[in-house]
Structure 1
């Protein structure tokens, strides 16, 4: 299979579809915020186009990351559902050429779709935002920057998911850039940084061996867990402000991300390769997704 195109099952494994939630929710949130601020209803055609953009973006990310990290992934003995790549190259289920070609196709389709949306919606900003989405992954995994190996990779993930994606959805649905609620982005940034750090926790040994300077590889998993908790705590502290700009209140819904954040601490010790590490990562992811879901539900449900 190594020299071929692979089976459908191999491509599904490479696509890591559960990670689509990281992309889909911020895009949907941006669209709902735009409708809330300008009035009216969601344009369904645009909704489909924007969420398709998210599918293409997510596939580009996982395919391109697998290609760039294949040597590091070969040394990884502590991979989980949330980390360590899809393993299709390590297992020889797909060839690097096939995966690289698929990443290029997704990138091209993403740009073409964004150009079409920009023309139809009269929103030229969508094109540079699409280029930014691709550029962040390139800066994360590829020379000359390759920031995931130099430190700062988690920051790139944070900017892309908490900044570029909500803005893309907002602009696509006719939102006025000058009225974009940046306080909402300020609310989302810390928890998305925490999520990016959390998904690197299981890969700490192989990342350190390969010189990949994630925060867990630099300071250790237990110290990184405290950073995750502090960042989510900051998001909880910003919630009244970030939600308030949308006319929402920080109610009992915050108990979900708060409880998930507490679970990050309680699930310990959680060394890479242990049964507890997936639980710790899942708790951190839950805290972040719940934080995105709160304003989304608040605006979507009358």
Structure 2
């Protein structure tokens, strides 16, 4: 039971939503735009890809970031890794093997889907997902330490994942709703910045060039709000791309975004930082869920 609890801690299951929702959104967009029924078998396969992708990400990031995590005294539920290596609950080797197994699994699922659906692009997208994590966490690129980590997260979550789900459900690439992706890119970038807010001291000490480490948490909070304002400005175009209209429900992500700067100051290690990060995550999740629910009920 101790080992099982350690693996559950390492798996950081609440972060599954970051992966599952964009994949589901892409699938429902394909169904809506193509007029074809949802293939439940494909749905299960795509979401299994998402489960393996999320596990690959958290296991690999824990292994790659362990030295920085050991310096982290302000870790939260949202940041600072799972802490299993810091606490000695699992070995780096075990996490590395698990990450490789998950990478192999997500590629195998993608090959199976590509063959059954006649969509070889799914394999390319799966390889891209693996490459983005490698570029984020591992030498020689290791962009999370060079100032590009948040951008990689944005591209992966709001670009690669919806496209993967869309292609898997038979969506025509020429009809892909790019405006929906354009709408979601800024808020996902804001979310990536927000989850780095609590780690500002250890990131700066480790020379990990996240935006909070470079400009400070308070300035970064205003950047997060500005990015969400951009998403809200693009929302009518994004929603129209999948046959939906902007309505009063957009007040939900708007209010959540405002909460990012209302809670101030919010230094790392404080309770306020938890509220600030939660507000940013809520704004992003709400912006994904609004078109998702709109497509689901039609």
Normalised by the shorter chain, which TM-score bucket?
over 0.9
Structure 1: give runs of 5+ residues left out of the alignment.
none
Structure 2: give runs of 5+ residues left out of the alignment.
none
Aligned to 2:29: 33
Backbone CA RMSD of aligned residues: 0.9
Offset at residue 40 of structure 1 (A) = 2.4
Residues 1:201 and 2:197 are matched in the alignment: yes
Query: Does the Cα contact within 8 Å between 1:248 and 1:295 map onto a contact in 2?
Result: yes
From 219, 239, 251, the equivalent of 1:243 is: 239
Aligned to 1:89: 85
How many residue pairs get matched? Answer: 298
Q: Where in structure 1 do 4 or more consecutive aligned residues deviate above 3 Å? A: none
From 272, 282, 285, the equivalent of 1:289 is: 285
Q: Give the distance between the partners of 2:270 and 2:179, measured in 1 at CA.
A: 38
Residues 1:165 and 2:161 are matched in the alignment: yes
Q: Give the distance between the partners of 1:276 and 1:166, measured in 2 at CA.
A: 32
Aligned to 1:141: 137
Q: Give the distance between the partners of 1:54 and 1:6, measured in 2 at CA.
A: 26
Alignment of 1:42-57 (within 5 A): 42-57=38-53
Q: Give the distance between the partners of 1:265 and 1:291, measured in 2 at CA.
A: 18
TM normalised by structure 1 equals: 0.98
From 17, 36, 42, the equivalent of 2:13 is: 17
Offset at residue 6 of structure 1 (A) = 6.6
Deviations 1:49-90 (A, max 9, x none): 000000000000000000000000000000000000000000
TM normalised by structure 2 equals: 0.99
Deviations 1:1-38 (A, max 9, x none): xxxx9700000000000000000000000000000011
Q: Give the distance between the partners of 2:186 and 2:130, measured in 1 at CA.
A: 22
Offset at residue 193 of structure 1 (A) = 0.1
From 70, 74, 80, the equivalent of 1:74 is: 70
Range that drifts further, 76-85 or 245-254: 245-254
Query: Does the Cα contact within 8 Å between 1:6 and 1:94 map onto a contact in 2?
Result: no
Q: Give the distance between the partners of 1:226 and 1:13, measured in 2 at CA.
A: 32
Q: Give the distance between the partners of 1:160 and 1:40, measured in 2 at CA.
A: 26
Offset at residue 246 of structure 1 (A) = 1.5
Query: Does the Cα contact within 8 Å between 1:37 and 1:175 map onto a contact in 2?
Result: yes
Aligned to 1:7, what secondary structure does the other structure show? helix
